Amino acid sequence: MNEKQIHRFVQRYLDATGCHIIEKSPAHFTVKLSPEADRALTNRPYYWSFVDRTGADPETMTFRFITDKSKYETNANAAPADHAGRSGMDAAADAAMARSLGFVHGSPAAPARVPEEVLHFGSQRLEQIFGAARAGGRFVCLFQEPERRSRHPLESTPYTAWLGVNMKVEFASDRKREEIHSFGVSLATGQFVERFHERLVNLRMTPRLPPNIHLAKNGLTLGKALAAIEGSLEKKLRGYDYEWAKEASQRLEEELAQVAHYYEPLIAGAEEESKAAIAEQYERRKEEIRWQYEPRVTASVINCGIFHLEGIG
């Protein structure tokens, strides 16, 4: 990811989690975290357990996230000299007050001391934001934004709820291959769609219920919709060519034979007190080889959601 991509991603994360952006430029954000983002990013479990127990109003942290360090430093160096002078005097005043009064909070509009984090691909903080986005985005509930506004205030557009699931299928032995499958099931009619993500990617979605719409009644439960997806994926996988699994099983047998050729004479010729240790090592080695070579197919859910789309589908 380059600086612009990181900046766009951080902007989307801050907006999605309801953070208050105090100041921003193409190179940075100064932001007061929302409770959701603070819980995910600041590692303050004791503080949040206190808030949860007492019901106190949470005081979230403020950060300056720098997404393009060179551009940010260039802009900072170009700041007027009198501004720099005021910043120095403000810092000196903060230090004097801190010595007398302890920690002094800045105003909400301009915090006195703001921790800075440089975000670049591979940085710990950006990885933490990636993880928080993955955890928070595993399940979503979104509505399609209408392409046109209703001309009549009483006109109502029908929307259908779809269960959308993205799944990863892994074919593994001593070699590995992965596939991503995206399925959608209409909870109103039971209609089944593959490559559902491609249908969504060009639509504008919002977490808020749009005006002048009504939701079609669901005729299918989530459990039945998920069962339909699982059944479709299983049927698809049964039709695959599994010659790779036969070849992997053959390599497994060859590896086990080589290990047996080494360990079995070693155990037979060992003294009684050392046989048990060698046999235990032999069993561990066989388990390692089976884990490495034994062919297996696993399917797991990456993320899913309820998507309310225009029309009856």
Per-residue pLDDT of the chain (313 residues; tens, 9 = 90+): 789 999 999 999 999 889 999 999 999 999 999 999 999 999 999 999 999 999 999 999 999 999 999 888 888 777 654 444 444 545 555 444 444 333 334 444 444 578 999 999 889 999 999 888 888 778 889 999 987 766 666 778 899 999 999 999 999 999 999 999 999 999 999 999 999 999 998 899 888 888 888 899 999 999 999 999 999 999 999 999 999 999 999 999 999 999 999 999 999 988 888 889 999 999 999 999 999 999 999 999 988 999 999 988 7
pLDDT of residue 104: 39
Q: How many secondary structure helices (H) and strands (E) does the chain include?
A: 10, 11
State whether residue 169 is helix, strand or coil. strand
pLDDT of residue 135: 81
Check: CB of residue 181 under 8 Å from CB of residue 235. no
φ, ψ for residue 120, nearest 5 deg: -140, 160
Check: CB of residue 62 under 8 Å from CB of residue 32. yes
pLDDT of residue 105: 43
Which tokens in the block code for residue 73?
A: 């430093």
Check: CB of residue 21 under 8 Å from CB of residue 31. yes
- The C-alpha atoms of residue 245 and residue 179 are separated, in whole angstroms, by 16
pLDDT of residue 76: 76
pLDDT of residue 187: 95
Spatial CA neighbour of 117 closest among 192, 6, 200, 198: 6
pLDDT of residue 100: 39
φ, ψ for residue 212, nearest 5 deg: 60, 45
At 218, the amino acid letter reads N
Say how many C-beta atoms besides its own lie within 10 A of residue 233's C-beta. Answer: 17
Which tokens in the block code for residue 256?
A: 């086990």
Residue 310, H or E segment: strand 296-310
pLDDT of residue 161: 95
Say how many C-beta atoms besides its own lie within 10 A of residue 6's C-beta. Answer: 19
In Å, how far from its chain's centre is CA 124?
15
pLDDT of residue 114: 87
CA torsion sign for 291, 293, 299, 303 is positive
Domain residue ranges in the chain: 3-136, 146-241+300-310, 244-294
Looking at residue 110, the DSSP 8-state letter turns out to be: B
Any idea which residue has 């769609």 for tokens? 193
Query: With 0-12 CB in 10 A as exposed, 13-18 as middle and 19+ as buried, what is 16?
Result: middle
* pTM for the predicted model, two decimal places: 0.63
